[in-house]
């Protein structure tokens, strides 16, 4: 039986240090092995050479362990880059990996960064590989390594264990991996939230993209983002109080570039955009401008769902629901076509003549819920937009903000699971609005002018379109 994991490290990084005399590599090995056993439900075989070696050639024992190992984990530090022995271990695994059969999209190499190093000094094949940073930087520019006394150390070990488990399970059961999720890079103020979501997605068996470091040159960055979005079932964007860094050659931050790339897609894949509570007080003018674009431009694109002033747990619930409860296949045409008549709760008595008329014509008419929590009413509204055949929006007095919000909900319906074209959509306006006000309404809707006493003939254009697309007459 071969090894699941080969740990490559410089022995100077395992020297006892600090008041507790921790041997850093030994502690990591021990805790990773224990956590992997819990996650995978079996003991995991890990090779780590305990001997301090100089510049001699790899021993047959080490060479055999490299050939038998399914994964290679190297602990990066300044000393690791200077060690000829570590370099031989790395090269040995790379050569052996080229002779193996492909083992799926995940890389069998994992990079642990114990101490910061110059990225340019890394071997080219792993330069862009995402690493597990077991350190943090202070505002002064100094770094502090993570040790077992810190919660962050255990979280990093858990992340590492779940990624190792994901790879090994994928090798053992090819094709068992779930969908990929594009979890967009974010600013530091929401970094811990992103790490938490990533951890939970991995626990559920999803692959998380990007799985390599994104380049900081716009010419290379944008194609990489689009490529990862192509592979993902949906994308998640976390927006904090800061605008973020602007890549070389770009005029927008990496956070906004990812939102824009996802929103411009024509395949209407779902996008979840969560605005963190702290973002309600932007830390800089650029972020305030970006938030306005999010609300007024990006959120209007089909497939985008913007969650603002919503707790993190609600966003995570929505994400899991999108992943694990995909839109059902198109249902057979029902005996009665369904019209969703959208109105404000106070106007339900006013629309009764319209409802009665449509039902006499043989249509099923749904109205918005008037009871239940705001979340329950909102969910029912989205579900009804997914299933209905046509929409009639009723407005008394032409409240522009409310009307525009309802029109936008129709544009968002594909992101909620709608898979078919809306047969007909109309706006029923009771009263006599000014002509300049009507110009702001979308031309995608038939405009029905209502009167104080409901006139059935006013519905002829709407019903004609509905009958024409659905087929048949009533």
Q: Is the pLDDT of residue 20 over 70?
A: yes
- Give me the pLDDT at residue 274, please: 94
How far apart are alpha carbons 464 and 424 in whole angstroms?
9
- Give me the pLDDT at residue 101, please: 56
- Give me the pLDDT at residue 56, please: 55
Asked if the structure places residue 157 within a domain, the reply is yes
Give the C-alpha distances (Å, rounded to integers) separating 274 from 134, 165, 311, 376.
27, 29, 9, 19
The tally of domains found in the chain comes to 3
Name the domain boundary from 118, 147, 176. Answer: 176
Give the C-alpha distances (Å, rounded to integers) separating 84 from 128, 367, 383.
22, 73, 61
Q: Average pLDDT in the 155-171 region?
A: 84
Whether pTM > 0.75 for this model: the answer is no
- Give me the pLDDT at residue 121, please: 86
Nearest to 291 by CA among 256, 252, 319: 256
DSSP letter for 306, please: E
Residue 208, SS3 per DSSP: strand
More confident residue, 438 or 39: 39
Q: Average pLDDT in the 181-185 region?
A: 95
Q: What is the CATH number of the domain that holds 137?
A: 3.40.50.10140
Asked if the structure places residue 76 within a domain, the reply is yes
Written in H, E and C, the secondary structure of 99-155 is: HCCCCCCCCCEEEEECCCCCHHHCCHHHCCECEEECEEECCCCCEEECCCCCHHHHH
| CB-CB contact of 153 with 147 (8 Å) | yes
How far apart are alpha carbons 317 and 320 in whole angstroms?
5
Asked if the structure places residue 297 within a domain, the reply is yes
Instruction: Give the pairing type, strands 135-137 and 143-145.
Output: antiparallel
Name the domain boundary from 145, 176, 207. Answer: 176
Same domain, residue pair 38 and 85: yes
Highest-confidence segment of 30-34, 201-205, 310-314, 430-434: 30-34
Let me know if 55 is exposed, middle or buried by CB neighbors in 10 A (0-12, 13-18, 19+).
exposed
Same domain, residue pair 274 and 351: no
User: What pLDDT, in 10s, does the model give residues 51-77?
Assistant: 755 545 667 888 888 888 889 999 999
- Give me the pLDDT at residue 329, please: 53
Q: Is the pLDDT of residue 276 over 90?
A: yes
How far apart are alpha carbons 403 and 408 in whole angstroms?
9
Asked if the structure places residue 333 within a domain, the reply is no
- Give me the pLDDT at residue 23, please: 92
Lowest average pLDDT, out of 20-29, 196-205, 377-386, goes to 196-205
Same domain, residue pair 246 and 386: no
- Give me the pLDDT at residue 249, please: 92
Percent of the chain clearing pLDDT 90 (strictly above) = 36
More confident residue, 265 or 348: 348
Q: Average pLDDT in the 168-194 region?
A: 79
Q: Which helix (H) or strand (E) holds 392?
A: strand 390-396
Same domain, residue pair 312 and 401: no
- Give me the pLDDT at residue 333, please: 46
Same domain, residue pair 19 and 154: yes
Q: What is the CATH number of the domain that holds 436?
A: 3.40.50.2300
Q: Is the pLDDT of residue 459 over 80?
A: yes
Q: Is the pLDDT of residue 471 over 70?
A: no
Same domain, residue pair 365 and 445: yes
Asked if the structure places residue 332 within a domain, the reply is no
- Give me the pLDDT at residue 171, please: 59
| CB-CB contact of 474 with 361 (8 Å) | yes
Q: Is the pLDDT of residue 467 over 60?
A: yes
Asked if the structure places residue 102 within a domain, the reply is yes
Q: Is the pLDDT of residue 380 over 80?
A: yes
Same domain, residue pair 49 and 169: yes
| CB-CB contact of 309 with 281 (8 Å) | no
Percent of the chain clearing pLDDT 70 (strictly above) = 88
Which pLDDT band holds residue 474 (cuts at 50, 70, 90)?
A: very low
Name the domain boundary from 110, 145, 176. Answer: 176
Phi and psi dihedrals of 388, rounded to 5? -70, 160
The total number of residues written for the chain in this structure: 474
Residue 56, SS3 per DSSP: coil
| CB-CB contact of 40 with 5 (8 Å) | no
Same domain, residue pair 122 and 184: no
Q: Is the pLDDT of residue 253 over 80?
A: yes
Q: Average pLDDT in the 426-447 region?
A: 70
Give the C-alpha distances (Å, rounded to integers) separating 359 from 273, 338, 383, 390.
39, 10, 21, 14
Which pLDDT band holds residue 336 (cuts at 50, 70, 90)?
A: confident
User: What pLDDT, in 10s, does the model give residues 89-138?
Assistant: 888 888 887 776 555 556 788 899 999 998 888 887 777 777 889 998 88
Same domain, residue pair 106 and 7: yes
Let me know if 378 is exposed, middle or buried by CB neighbors in 10 A (0-12, 13-18, 19+).
middle
Lowest average pLDDT, out of 122-126, 149-153, 174-178, 324-328, goes to 174-178
Phi and psi dihedrals of 118, rounded to 5? -75, 120
Let me know if 320 is exposed, middle or buried by CB neighbors in 10 A (0-12, 13-18, 19+).
middle
Domain of residue 426, residue span: 338-470
Q: Average pLDDT in the 398-409 region?
A: 82
Same domain, residue pair 28 and 57: yes
Which pLDDT band holds residue 473 (cuts at 50, 70, 90)?
A: very low
Same domain, residue pair 70 and 213: no
Same domain, residue pair 12 and 157: yes
| CB-CB contact of 147 with 135 (8 Å) | no
Q: Average pLDDT in the 163-168 region?
A: 84
- Which token pair is 101? 């059969």
Q: Average pLDDT in the 138-152 region?
A: 87
Asked if the structure places residue 331 within a domain, the reply is no
Q: Is the pLDDT of residue 371 over 70?
A: yes
Asked if the structure places residue 154 within a domain, the reply is yes
| CB-CB contact of 58 with 88 (8 Å) | yes
Q: Average pLDDT in the 347-367 region?
A: 92
Which pLDDT band holds residue 433 (cuts at 50, 70, 90)?
A: low
């Amino acid at each position: 039986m071969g090894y699941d994991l080969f740990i490559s490290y410089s022995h100077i990084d395992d020297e006892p240090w600090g008041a507790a005399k921790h041997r850093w590599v030994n502690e990591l090995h021990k805790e990773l092995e224990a956590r992997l056993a819990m996650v995978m439900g079996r003991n995991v075989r890990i090779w780590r050479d305990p001997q301090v070696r100089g510049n001699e050639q790899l021993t047959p024992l080490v060479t055999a362990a490299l050939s038998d190992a399914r994964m290679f984990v190297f602990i990066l530090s300044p000393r690791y880059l200077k060690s000829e022995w570590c370099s031989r271990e790395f090269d040995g695994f790379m050569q052996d990996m080229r002779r193996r059969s492909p083992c799926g999209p995940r890389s069998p190499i994992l990079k642990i960064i114990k101490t910061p190093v110059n990225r340019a000094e890394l071997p080219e094949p792993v330069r862009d590989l995402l690493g597990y940073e077991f350190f943090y930087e202070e505002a002064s520019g100094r770094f502090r390594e993570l040790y077992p006394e810190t919660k962050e150390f255990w979280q990093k070990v858990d992340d590492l264990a779940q990624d190792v488990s994901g790879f090994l399970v994928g090798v053992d059961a090819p094709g068992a991996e779930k969908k990929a999720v594009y979890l967009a890079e974010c600013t530091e103020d929401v970094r811990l939230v992103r790490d938490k979501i990533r951890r939970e997605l991995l626990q559920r068996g999803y692959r998380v993209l990007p799985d390599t470091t994104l380049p900081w040159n716009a010419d290379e960055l944008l194609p990489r983002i689009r490529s990862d979005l192509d592979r993902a079932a949906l994308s998640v964007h976390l927006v904090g109080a800061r605008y973020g860094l602007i890549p070389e050659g770009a005029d927008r931050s990496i956070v906004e570039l990812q939102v824009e790339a996802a929103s411009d897609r024509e395949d209407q894949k779902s996008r979840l955009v969560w605005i963190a509570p702290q973002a309600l007080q932007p830390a800089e003018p650029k972020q305030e401008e970006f938030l306005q674009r999010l609300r007024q431009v990006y959120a209007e694109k089909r497939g985008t769902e913007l969650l603002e002033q919503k707790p993190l747990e609600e966003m995570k619930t929505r994400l899991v629901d999108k992943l694990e409860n995909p839109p059902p296949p198109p249902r057979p045409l029902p005996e009665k076509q369904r019209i969703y008549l959208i109105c404000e709760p106070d106007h339900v008595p006013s629309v009764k003549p319209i409802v009665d008329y449509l039902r006499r014509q043989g249509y099923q008419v749904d109205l918005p819920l008037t009871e239940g929590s705001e979340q329950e009413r909102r969910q029912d509204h989205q579900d009804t937009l997914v299933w209905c055949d046509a929409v009639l929006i009723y407005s008394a007095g032409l409240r522009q903000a409310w009307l525009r919000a309802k029109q936008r909900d129709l544009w968002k319906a594909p992101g909620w699971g709608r898979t078919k074209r809306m047969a007909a959509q109309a706006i029923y306006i009771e009263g006599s609005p000014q002509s300049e006000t009507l110009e702001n309404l979308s031309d995608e809707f038939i405009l029905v002018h209502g009167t104080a006493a409901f006139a059935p003939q006013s519905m002829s254009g709407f019903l004609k379109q509905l009958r024409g697309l659905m087929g048949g007459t009533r």
